[in-house]
Amino acid sequence: ISVKEFSNYYNYELKKEIDNIENKYNAHYIEDTLSSYNITHLTLGSFFNLDYQINEKSTPYSNRSNFFPSNLYYENNTNRSNLIRLLNKIGYNFKWIGNQWADCNFYNTLKYCMEYSFLMNYSNLINEYTFNSFFSSSPLIDLLGKFYYNNKVKIEKLFINNNNYDCMDHDAICKFLYYSKQMDKKYDKTFFFIHHLNPHSPHTFDQNCNIKKEKHNNKFDYFESYLCTLKKIDELLNYLSHFDPNAKIIIQGDHGTRFNTKKNEYDLNRLKIFNLLVNIDNHHFKNKIDNVNAARLLISEATKSKIHLLDKKSYFGFYEDSNNYGKVLRVSD
């Protein structure tokens, strides 16, 4: 969620933390940004499409196969992502650092994956995206979810304790840093997509980024996870300021959170996101940068060409257990 909404909800001021990040890393935080959609598969699907994939006039879709992460599935030397096709055309590599919800290895068999997931075989058997999609309308979801989460965390901790590796599978920033430091030299002309799951559940970290002994999924868990994520962002930017000081970076949420509403109930907070630009010095268009235009901005920065932004839009979509599934509603600014 946005810094403003977080501060208002928790009565906890974050100005010092944001000012520190802005001053150290040539960064600019953009307040009052709405995500392109309220659901990950729609927002990131549109990010990789370089355009809004569905609007209020579109034919309702019946499944997620055309959206993220399925739209990054690499098969027969083809990819359905407009962004990746354009990156290939201008001579850029693409690297994806995923998480337990959307594991790069599950969809790409290492074609675009920076990391080889230590849970690859387990994730191929049942990754969280597949799990949630299949059981979304089942009364077993809570019971199965606890079983899935608890066993996945046990496997991760077992691996961590027996290897020189300390990254939980949802901690994509940690994985990026780990694998970057294994390289002899930096990637040239590479677009990195780091899909960091926090502060989203499973909320396994406290505010100092230590692994919690148990998870509650309550408001305090989100509070701690959010503060930890700010520390992770600082750690990432500090590393990149030395590893690749001229890197163009955008750090965004793909949706906000909901504190007091149910899954398919309209809540504007679900669209209010964190939005940080780093080493991007053209300030006059920054308030136009939502998720879709972020991808367009990065292409412009990579090619040093004129930026072609779309009119900024936001939509509210629905999950599989809603009668409105497959449709979206336009949200007024």
Measure the CA–CA gap between 180 and 50, rounded to whole angstroms: 27
Distance of CA 300 to the CA centre of its chain: 21
| 179, HSE (Cβ side, Cα atoms, 13 Å) | 19
- Give the model's pLDDT for residue 40: 96
pLDDT score of 223? 94
Higher pLDDT, residue 177 or 217: 177
- What gap in Å lies between CA 199 and CA 225, rounded to an integer? 5
Residue 329 pairs in a beta bridge with 316
Q: Which residues pair with 194 in a beta bridge?
A: 97
Q: Which residue has the higher pLDDT, 130 or 189?
A: 189
pLDDT at 36 over 90: yes
d(CA 88, CA 125): 31
Cα separation, 92 vs 88, whole angstroms: 5
Q: Tell me which range, 31-45, 103-117, 163-177, 207-221, is most confidently predicted by mean pLDDT.
A: 31-45
- Cα-Cα end-to-end distance for the chain: 17
Lowest mean pLDDT among 135-139, 217-221, 266-270: 135-139
What confidence score (pLDDT) does residue 141 get?
42
Residue carrying the six token digits 């953009």: 30
Q: How many CA atoms lie within 13 A of 295 on its CB side?
A: 26
Tokens of 199: 């502060």
Average pLDDT over residues 38-58: 96
pLDDT the model gives residue 103: 82
Residue 128 pLDDT more than 70?
no
Share above pLDDT 70 across residues of the chain, in percent, rounded to a whole number: 79
Mean pLDDT of the chain: 83
Average pLDDT over residues 215-244: 92
Mapped onto helix, strand or coil, the DSSP state of residue 288 is helix
| Among 296, 327, 318, residue whose Cα is nearest residue 309 | 296
205: which DSSP letter? B
Kindly indicate the confidence band of residue 131, based on its pLDDT and cuts at 50, 70 and 90: very low
- Determine the Cα–Cα distance for residues 127 and 278; give it in Å rounded to an integer: 32
pLDDT, residue 283, reads 63
The pLDDT assigned to 184 comes to 58
Q: Residue 73: what pLDDT?
A: 80
Task: Count how many Cα atoms sit within 13 Å of the Cα of residue 239 in the half-sphere of its side chain.
Answer: 15
pTM of the predicted model as reported, rounded to 2 decimal places: 0.85
pLDDT at 226 over 90: yes
pLDDT confidence tier of residue 121, bands split at 50, 70 and 90: very low
Region class of 297: left (phi > 0), else alpha (psi between -120 and 50), else beta: alpha
More confident residue, 287 or 83: 83
Helix (H, G, I), strand (E, B) or coil at 102: coil
Q: Is the pLDDT higher at 140 or at 91? A: 91
- By CB atoms closer than 10 A (0-12, 13-18, 19+), residue 205 is buried
**Residue 239 CB partners (closer than 8 Å, separation 6+):** 177, 180
Calculate mean pLDDT across residues 258-278: 89
Average pLDDT over residues 30-45: 96
